[in-house]
Structures are given as C-alpha cells and as structure tokens.
Amino acid sequence: MVTKNTRIQREKREVILDAALRAFSKNGFQGTRLDQIAAVAGLSKPNILYYYSGKDVIYRTLLNRLLEIWLQPLEGIDPLGDPHTEIMGYISAKMEFSRKFPRESRLFAIEILNGAPRLSNELDGSLKALVDRTVKMFRAWMDEGRLAQVDPYHLIFSIWATTQHYADFSTQMRSVLGDQDPDPIATGSKFLEELFFKGLDPR
C-alpha cells in the first residue's frame, strides 16, 4: 500500500504511533506485542499492519521522529548569547522535555541501552555533528573567559544525564522520594541550576 495523505490516514497513523510509543517505552521492542498496540490504538491487529508494514517499521518511524525533536533544544543554544543564560536555558529546556515527553526519553534510553542497533547511523551522523558544533561554541566561551575551563563534551554528557534522569529513572525517584516532593522536576531544576551555575563559573 502506498502511503496516502488523506486525513483519515494521517490521523490513524498518529494514533498508532502514540499507542506504540506508550507500549515500546514501557516494554521495549521485543517486549511489546502488536496486540497491545492495537488494543491501545483501538484498532484491530491487521489494521495496524494496513498502516505500517511491520512492527519494526513502527518502531523505526517512532525513533526517527523522536530524534528530530530530541535535537531541537541543542540547536536552540545561541552562540551570541550569554554563556550562563544559554546553558541554563538549555538545562531548563531539557527538563521541560523530561516533564512533557518522558515516554520519548525512555524509548530513546532503551534503544541506546540496547546498543542502538536501529539508530547508530543517526547517532554517528546528525547527533555527532550537532554536538561538535556546540562544543566549538563552548570552547570559544571558555577561551573568552566567560565559562569555566572544563571538558565541553563531558559537560554536555552531564547535562543530558542529569536532565533525562528525571524521565528515565522516575520510577526510582518516586520510590526514594515517596510523597514528600509533589514536583520533583521543579525541585530538580532548581538544584541543577545551582550546581551548574556554580560549577561552570569561571571564578
């Protein structure tokens, strides 16, 4: 079947992707059954396969679409802006992502934990390019004395790690925090701001 662009096609495809995201981000690729996706989407199993030619295709479609969104915050850093403002803005944006798109974050994490068998090309390509661009920017700021002299790659890694942790490890956080923090992401944002503000201060 050729991909049509009728309204009904677009809508159903969206519904399927949404259902698939819920399932895949919870149980991984192999742990997700087409039945589950179908049930959540409110469609029959063959009807799912009418829109996407296989489970694999749904998964890949999801990952590719996710990667695009994933890279946006990094692209948003302004080389002409103030280093601290920009980096705090980036951290803030990433935290908002963890709040709004925890499932997307988890899907991405699962894929990478599995060795990114279906994503390695994209990681080596567009992600690396974007990181390299950002690293250059950070180095320029450091050379100008506006940012502490730290390894820029690992700075980026640490931001990813800390912010995505609020989506990926939320189960663990809930276990540890119990009910004492009604909004861990807000608290975490404040904490990370302080940590990175002081940690990146050029003195």
Which does residue 193 bind out of a second copy, DNA, none, counting CB within 5 to 8 angstroms by kind?
Answer: none
Q: Stretches 37-45, 73-81, 150-158, 188-196: which one binds DNA (CB under 7 A)?
A: 37-45
DSSP 8-state code for residue 147: S
Contact (CB, 8 A) for 168 and 105:
yes
181 binds, among a second copy, DNA, none (CB under 5 to 8 A by kind): a second copy
Find where tokens 């002299």 sit.
Answer: 149
The yes or no reply on residue 49 touching DNA (CB under 7 A) is yes
Residue with the two structure tokens 């490890």:
169
- 3-state class of 30 per DSSP? helix
Using CB under 7 A, pick the residue from 18, 22, 26, 34 that binds DNA. 34
91: left (phi over 0), alpha (psi -120 to 50) or beta: alpha
Upper half-sphere CA count for residue 152 (Cβ side, 13 Å):
17
User: Which of DNA, a second copy, none sits in contact with 4, Cβ below 5 to 8 A by type?
Assistant: DNA
Q: Compare residues 14 and 85 and give the one whose CB is closer to a second copy.
A: 85
Per rule CB under 7 A, is residue 54 in the interface with DNA?
yes
Q: Which residue has the tokens 């029959």?
A: 44
Q: Is residue 149 a contact point for DNA (CB under 7 A)?
A: no
Which parts of this chain interact with DNA (CB under 7 A)? 1, 4-6, 8-9, 12, 32-35, 43-47, 49-51, 53-56
